Amino acid sequence: MSNYIEKAASPQILNYAWQFLPHDRGNWVCGLSVEEIRPNLIRHVGELSEQLLRGNYKPEPMCYRYSNRERSVIGVSTVRDQLVQFAILSVLEPLAKAKINFGRMTKETAIAQVRDLVGDGYVWVKTGQIEDCLDNIPIPVNEIF
């Protein structure tokens, strides 16, 4: 198992990640809400930690919402999955910051840096801003509610 997953699965990192979850989501929740998790946070963190360490953690299906303001469909991860995502991000982000210059750069410079890192054997990129990307992803209508 990856040492990074072991770090992200630690209760300390999962508790740290909990602090960064948006706790006021309004109706943008699928699965258990923050309010439902909070009273049993220790149990939920323990279960997530065990699943990650055993290698049998499975993300839950995303929910899709139509945003009238954005006039688009938005995918929403469950609170549980976002907790895992924040935990992994908190472990990997310092490594990425050390490798990639996040200052002001053009798209061309960013792409060149990613290309160089891929050439050096790195296979993951944490985040990317792709214009109009979400407008081009087909989502079956029956999955939107």
The pLDDT confidence band at residue 39, using thresholds 50, 70 and 90, is very high
Place of tokens 């990997």: 92
pLDDT of 104 higher than 70 = no
Say how far residue 101 (Cα) sits from the centre of its chain. 21
pTM attached to this predicted model:
0.63
Mean residue pLDDT across the chain: 77
- pLDDT, tens digit, 9 for 90 and up, residues 6-32: 999 999 999 999 988 876 665 556 778
Q: SS3 of 73, please?
A: strand
